[in-house]
Structure 1
Amino acid sequence: MEITGSVTEFPLPELLQLLDRRHVTGCLSLEIFSNYYSELQPQFYAIWLNQGDIVSIRHGFYKQDIFSLAVQKEWMSKFVAQKLAQRCPDNMAAGLYLESQNVLDFGQLRTLFFAEVVHRVQSLCEIKSANFKFQTLTELPMQEMTGLSIPASKVAMQGFRGGRGTSFQSVENLKNRIPAKPLSKA
């Protein structure tokens, strides 16, 4: 399945709800244009979904894996991260692997997931000028995934609320109401 369009005609929160209802697995690519400066280069985002749940997001073309994020948070050394990245199974979310090795705990995975994924998607729900393309696929970016997921419609509902959906308080409220569930292994 492929869907293309513009958020001016089909707002991102509505698109996320549709993808959630259809329980699709794939990548939603966004090309965002500046409302103020036409000479600025567009920003690119990719949002990955697994059976309608958001599992990961990427800004630009730079892959930010879970190992690097854990090093940035000083939860592990760069050396340990490199060794564990080499040993991580290809079919397992990196975050779940780190939890299974007792390197990260569920609270740390949850912190990464809400800061790096949920909050960013909520912010994107407010964009007014962007093109999108959704493509189904079977391979997810396992190295970039915490192993947690959240229904796309839950994040979209926060997006419908406008500016209130992206505040730190709203993210904290969402964390408390919606338990992030571990990604089921297929």
Structure 2
Amino acid sequence: MQLSGSFSELPWTEMLHFLAHSQVTGCLSLYPKSSYHQPIYTSRYHLWMAQGYFVSASSNMNGYGLLRLIQQQGWLSLNSGERLAKTLPKAMALGDYLTVQRVLSDRQRYILFQLQVIRRLNEIRHLKTALFTFQTIEQLPQLEMTGLRVPIYEIQTSAVYIAA
């Protein structure tokens, strides 16, 4: 399934309702307009979801967003993170793997999810205008995932909590 449009056609709250009920796995890309005077959509958000949950978010699609965030927190160098990522088992989130390897604590993983996903969702909530595309996918980006998730319907009601 592919869907594209703008917030003027499908507002954020209605999009959340649709995504929560459709239970799809895919990537929602948002391109906010910085201002009405600037016609270029300069920034972007990529939100990955699986069966009614947001599972990851990034500003780019290069696969290094979570590793860079871990590096910015001073918890692991990018080189060490890249080496560990090469040993990541299939279908395991990087955050889960780094926690099992005792590189990250549960608390650090929680903080990463707050910075990576919840913060971006709160920013998106305040957007007035944006273009969007949604594309279903079969494989989630394991390198971008902490292993935590938040129900889409919780974002709708602003009662955000983390579900493991």
TM-score by length of 1: 0.79
Q: Which amino acid aligns with 1:181?
A: A
SS of residue paired to 1:128: coil
Pick closer, same or farther for the CA change 1:72–1:34 going to 2, 3 Å.
Answer: closer
Q: Name the structure 1 match of 2:150.
A: 150
Q: 1:6 to 1:150 in 2, by over 3 A?
A: same
Confirm or deny: 8 A CA contact 2:63 2:141 kept in the other structure.
Answer: no
Is 1:26 the equivalent of 2:26? yes
Change (3 A) 1:81 1:10: same
Hey, which of these two has a bigger chunk of helix by percent? 1
| Unmatched runs of 5 consecutive residues or more in structure 2 | none
Q: Which runs of 4+ in 1 moved over 4 A?
A: none
Cα distance between partner residues in 2 of 1:39 and 1:134 = 22
1:61 is displaced (CA, Å) by 4.6
Alignment partner, residue 89 of structure 2: 89
1:13-162, aligned counterparts within 5 Å?
Answer: 13-158=13-158
Whichever residue aligns with residue 14 of structure 2, its letter is E
- In 1, Cα distance between equivalents of 2:60 and 2:41: 11
**Deviation of the 1:40 alpha carbon:** 4.5
Following superposition, the deviation at residue 81 of structure 1 comes to: 1.8
Say whether the 8 Å CA contact 2:29–2:45 is kept in structure 1: yes
Q: Cα RMSD over matched residues?
A: 1.9
SS in 2 for 1:181: coil
Distance in 2 (alpha carbons) for counterparts of 1:60 and 1:76 = 20
Q: State whether structure 2 residue 163 is matched by structure 1 residue 181.
A: yes
Give unpaired runs (5+ residues) of structure 1.
159-172
Q: Give a deviation string over 1:57-79, Cα, whole Å, max 9, x none.
A: 12145543433322221112344
The 1:9–1:96 alpha-carbon spacing in structure 2 relative to 1, beyond 3 Å, is: same
Task: Tell me how far apart the structure 2 counterparts of residues 11 and 102 of structure 1 sit (CA, whole Å).
Answer: 41
